[in-house]
Structure 1
Amino acid sequence: MSFNTLGLSPSILKAIEEKGYTTPSPIQEKAIPVILDRKDILASAQTGTGKTAGFTLPILQILSQNPPAGRRKIRALVLTPTRELAAQILENVREYSTYLDIRSTVIFGGVNQNPQVATLKNGIDILIATPGRLLDLHQQRLLNIGSVEILVLDEADRMLDMGFAKDINRIMAILPERRQNLLFSATFSLEIKKMAAGILFDPELVEATPENTTAEKVIHNVIRVDKGMKNDLIVKLIDEGDWQQVLIFTRTKHGANKLSEKLEKSGMSSAAIHGNKTQNARTKALDGFKKGQIRVLVATDIAARGLDIPLLPHVVNYELPNVPEDYVHRIGRTGRAGASGEAVSLVCAEEIDYLRGIEKLLDLQLPVEIVSGFEPLEVDRQPPPKMGGGQRPPRSNDNRGGGGKPRPSGGGGNRPAAAKGNRPFNKNRDTKR
Structure 2
Amino acid sequence: MTDIQRKALPLGLCGKDILGAAKTGSGKTLAFLVPMIEMLYRQKWGPQDGLGALIISPTRELAVQIFEVLRKIGREHSFSAGLIIGGKDWKIERELISKMNILVCTPGRLLQHMDQSAGFNCDLLQLLVLDEADRILDMGFKKTINAIVENLPPQRQTMLFSATQTKSVKDLARLSLKDPEYVAVHEKSEHATPKNLSQYYMVVPLQQKLDVMFNFIKTHLTAKGIVFLSSCKQVRFVFETFCKMHPGVPLLHLHGKQKQQKRAETYAKFAAQKAAYLFCTDIAARGLDFAAVNWVIQLDCPEDPETYIHRVGRTARYEASGQAMLMLCPSEETGMIQGLERAKVPIQEVKLKQDAKDVKKEPIQKQMQRLCFNDPEIKYLGQKAFISYMRSVYLQKDKTVFDVNALPAEEFAASLGLPGAPKIKFVEKSKAKNAVRGSQKKSSDDEDESADEQEEEEEERSKVKALDAKKKKSKKEVVPEDEEDAEATGSKQVKSKIEKMFNRKNQSVLADHYTKLVDHDNDNKAAKARTGGDDNDDDDIFTIKRADHDLGGDEIPEDTVLPTSKRQQRMSKLEKTKNQGQGNKLLFDEDGQAHELYELEDEASFHAKGDALSQQKEFLEKEKKVMDRADVVDKSTAKEKLREKKAKRKQREREDMMDEDSEDDGEMVVTLGNPDDSDDQGDDYSMDEDNYSGDDNSDNEDDDEETPKKRGWWQDKADAEESKKKRKVVEVDEPQTLAEQEALALKLLGL
| TM class by smaller structure | 0.7 to 0.9
Instruction: Name the structure where helix makes up a greater proportion of residues.
Output: 2
In the TM superposition, 1:11-410 aligns within 5 A as: 24-68=1-45, 71-121=48-98, 123-142=99-118, 143-161=120-138, 163-191=140-168, 193-198=169-174, 199-210=176-187, 213-267=192-246, 268-292=249-273, 295-364=276-345, 366-372=347-353
Query: Greater shift after overlay, 234-243 or 305-314?
Result: 234-243
Q: Structure 1 stretch 224-233 or stretch 74-83: which is displaced more? A: 224-233
* Equivalent residues of 1:72, 1:124 under 8 A apart: no
Number of residue pairs matched by the alignment: 355
Q: Which amino acid aligns with 2:171?
A: M
Mapped partners of 1:249, 1:388: distance in 2: 21
C-alpha distance in structure 2 between counterparts of 1:344 and 1:332, whole Å: 12
Q: Cα–Cα, structure 1 residues 282 and 241, in superposed 2: closer, same or farther, change >3 Å? A: same
Kindly provide the amino acid, as one letter, of the partner of residue 304 in structure 2: V
Q: CA deviation at 1:162?
A: 5.5
| Superposed CA RMSD | 2.4
Is the contact made by 2:107 and 2:141 (CA closer than 8 Å) also made in structure 1?
yes
Mapped to 2, the partners of 1:284 and 1:374 lie a distance apart of 41
Deviations 1:133-176 (A, max 9, x none): 11111111343222210111111101133511221121111111
Post-superposition shift, 1:197? Answer: 3.3
- Aligned with 1:312: secondary structure? coil
Q: Name the amino acid aligned to 1:49.
A: S
Distance 1:220-1:179 versus aligned 2 partners, 3 A rule: same
> TM-score, structure 2 length as denominator?
0.45
Query: Which aligned runs of 4 or more in structure 1 are off by greater than 3 angstroms?
Result: 188-191, 386-390
Q: Which has the larger radius of gyration?
A: 2
Query: CA offsets, 1:157-209, max 9 Å, x none?
Result: 01133511221121111111211111123224453x43123321112121121
**Identity within the alignment, %:** 33
Q: Which amino acid aligns with 1:135?
A: L
Alignment gaps of 5+ in structure 2 = 363-751
Instruction: Mark the CA change 1:105 to 1:344 in structure 2 (over 3 Å): closer, same or farther.
Output: same
- Structure 1 residue 372, shift from structure 2 partner: 2.9
Residue pair 1:271, 1:294 contacting (<8 A) in 2 also: no
- CA distance change for structure 1 residues 365 and 306 in 2, over 3 Å: closer, same or farther? closer
Partners of 2:336 and 2:187 in 1: how far apart? 20
1:362 Cα shift?
2.8
Secondary structure at the residue paired with 1:342? strand
Compute the displacement of 1:73 (Å).
1.1
| Bigger strand share | 1
Q: 1:178 to 1:338 in 2, by over 3 A?
A: same
Is the 8 Å Cα contact of residues 250 and 319 (structure 1) preserved in structure 2? Answer: yes
Measured in 2, the distance between the counterparts of 1:65 and 1:266 equals: 59
CA distance in 1, matches of 2:3, 2:355: 42
Q: Is the 8 A contact 1:153 1:184 kept in 2?
A: yes
SS of aligned partner of 2:215: helix
Scaled by the length of structure 1, the TM-score of the pair is: 0.77
Distance 1:327 1:388 in 2: 27
Letter in 1 for 2:221: D
Distance in 1 separating the partners of 2:136 and 2:22 = 16
